[in-house]
Amino acid sequence: MSVRVAVIGAGAAGLCAVRHLASRPSTFSVQAFEQSPGVGGTWVYTEKTGTDIYGLPIHSSMYKNLKTNLPKEVMAFPDFPFDKQLPSFIKHQDVLQYLEKYATHFNLLQHIKFETQVIKVQPIHCPKEQSPTGQDQKWEVTSAPVLDSKKSVTEEYDAVIVCNGHYAVPLIPKVPGLETFSGEIIHSHTYRAPEDFKNQTVLCLGAAASGQDISIDLSSEAKMVYLCHNKSLIQSPLPPNVQQKPGIQSVSGSTVTLNNGEEISADCLLFCTGYHFRFPFLTESCHLHIEEERLTPLYKHLIHTEFPTLSFIGICKTICPFPQFHVQILLVLAALDGSFQLPSKEEMDADTEADYQKRLSEGLPKRHAHTMGNRQWAYNDEIARLAGCELIQKSVKNLYDAVHETRVKNLVGYKRVNYEMVNECSYSEAC
Ligand code: FAD
């Protein structure tokens, strides 16, 4: 009896799930659902903001000039390298092309229903002895064509893998007086091109990857960019019209008061403050809780502990996404086919709580419950070991660390360096 699996989304995570499920047809059957007409998810750039041709919110957060902030050598899925001819830091179009090639190479398109949105997922009871997963639940998945939502269909699956992405629903923190701001307020999700800000003074809020990148992109056209944040100062030289400032305290009309009391007049407030997790299709009976961007109850940020046949790929942040998706999916499959015996619910919840408490004890706020950074390597190794698959090569970590070092010193120019992964543990760089 094969395990019927529904995959929600055909971005990088969904494609990776389909690739591994479809490669084992005697164990799994797979049906993926993608609301857009093609694969690639957030890498499908559009100039448009707001809603798409179907009236759905625009999903992609790409902007015109975006180049990857990781070199292609560490971005790739372990079983599918990027084109050798490309430089290390590539355009968003190149990543989309890579994902399209991955889909064709592994023959994935036949398993994906495009322009079909999953609108409801709910667990139903199933006696263990009748279930190919050995769990006592299966799933009702309701989907509908985006062109005619009345034609919805409900089907049963033994497992559901959620790959709907988490860079699509902007998170804008509360700022006193924000509603009085006389200029434009946008979020990095809707930032597209620096030309839209010609000669403007822009206050960019947040200095994580997007805030840093967008400030530099904007500096080619804007009169002045204030990069406002509460982290320690970026040490790298910045363009002359990009200045670091403290975070903002309040807004009144066109004046923004910063945390040090300084007042700045701005034409635009650009929030680079991250995104919300959203799973509008999960019914309450799925018992997924989201509190300050912490999802529970997920074992290893991945598998629902009450319903182990429900899993979520790509929840972790500040990672090398594609390699991590690869090992996460292999663990989900190992749990579904029984080759990995999941611990009891109590043990899984205790493991999750221990990870969470460790983060808190290190001073991380709750909203960083899924942030990885340097934690990702031990995590990836653990996931791979549990899955019984190959570990991600050490050279990925080495190169990631080397790029980080270069980036800290040269935020404006680090993407001009080309890297090559020579062997397991070293790299060479050439300008
Ligand atoms: P997505 O790509 O968001 O795909 C989710 C898919 O699910 C979409 O196609 C969506 O249409 C579909 N979907 C959602 N809901 C439903 C539904 N109900 N029914 C059907 N389909 C649905 N990563 C890197 O490795 N290197 C980088 O340089 C890099 N830069 C980035 C820059 C930006 C601005 C952003 C936003 C992200 C960047 N990332 C980068 C991270 C990137 O998000 C991941 O690489 C990866 O593409 C995420 O894939 P995903 O499949 O999880 O999500």
Under DSSP, the state recorded for 58 is P
Ligand 1 binding pocket includes 10 (Cβ within 6 Å):
yes
Q: Ligand 1 centre and the CA of 253: distance in Å?
A: 35
Ligand 1 binding pocket includes 117 (Cβ within 6 Å):
yes
Q: Ligand 1 centre and the CA of 147: distance in Å?
A: 22
Question: Which residue's entry shows tokens 């699509």?
Answer: 168
Ligand 1 binding pocket includes 41 (Cβ within 6 Å):
yes
Cβ–Cβ < 8 Å for 386, 397 = no
> 49 is written with which tokens?
């903001």
Classify residue 124 by burial, with Cβ atoms within 10 Å: 0-12, 13-18, 19+: exposed
The reported pLDDT for the residue numbered 170 is 97
3-state secondary structure (DSSP) of residue 358: helix
Inter-residue long-range contacts of 234-237, CB under 8 Å, 24+ positions, other chains counted = 234/207, 234/411, 235/408, 235/409, 236/407, 236/408, 236/409, 236/410, 236/411, 236/412, 237/410, 237/411, 237/412
Q: Ligand 1 centre and the CA of 53: distance in Å?
A: 19
Which residue type sits at 111?
Answer: H
Q: What value, to the nearest 5°, has the Cα angle with vertex 116 and ends 92 and 40?
A: 15
Ligand 1 binding pocket includes 63 (Cβ within 6 Å):
no
Positive or negative CA dihedral for 231, 237, 239, 241?
positive
Question: Which residue's entry shows tokens 């008061």?
Answer: 257
Question: Which residue's entry shows tokens 């990885």?
Answer: 372
3-state secondary structure (DSSP) of residue 170: strand
The reported pLDDT for the residue numbered 7 is 99
The reported pLDDT for the residue numbered 428 is 41
What is d(CA 313, CA 163) in angstroms, rounded to the nearest whole number? Answer: 6
Ligand 1 binding pocket includes 33 (Cβ within 6 Å):
yes
The tens-digit pLDDT sequence of the chain (431 residues) is 899 999 999 999 999 999 999 999 999 999 999 999 999 999 999 999 999 999 999 999 999 999 999 999 999 999 999 999 999 999 999 999 999 999 999 999 999 999 999 999 999 999 999 999 999 999 999 999 999 989 999 999 999 999 999 999 999 999 999 999 999 999 999 999 999 999 999 999 999 999 999 999 999 999 999 999 999 999 999 999 999 999 999 999 999 999 999 999 999 999 999 999 999 999 999 999 999 999 999 999 999 999 999 999 999 999 999 999 999 999 999 999 999 999 999 999 999 999 999 999 999 999 999 999 999 999 999 999 999 999 999 999 999 999 999 999 999 999 999 998 754 444 444 32
Question: Which residue's entry shows tokens 């993407």?
Answer: 415
Cβ–Cβ < 8 Å for 288, 279 = yes
> 7 is written with which tokens?
């995959």
> 256 is written with which tokens?
């923004």
The structural domains of the chain, ordered by start, are: 3-168+275-394 (3.50.50.60), 178-271 (3.50.50.60)
Ligand 1 binding pocket includes 35 (Cβ within 6 Å):
yes
Ligand 1 binding pocket includes 12 (Cβ within 6 Å):
yes
Q: Ligand 1 centre and the CA of 219: distance in Å?
A: 26
Ligand 1 binding pocket includes 411 (Cβ within 6 Å):
no
Most informative mutation of 43, 167, 217, 380 for ligand 1 (most atoms within 8 A of CB): 167
Ligand 1 binding pocket includes 308 (Cβ within 6 Å):
no
Ligand 1 binding pocket includes 164 (Cβ within 6 Å):
yes
Q: Ligand 1 centre and the CA of 296: distance in Å?
A: 21
Task: Look up the ipTM and state it.
Answer: 0.99
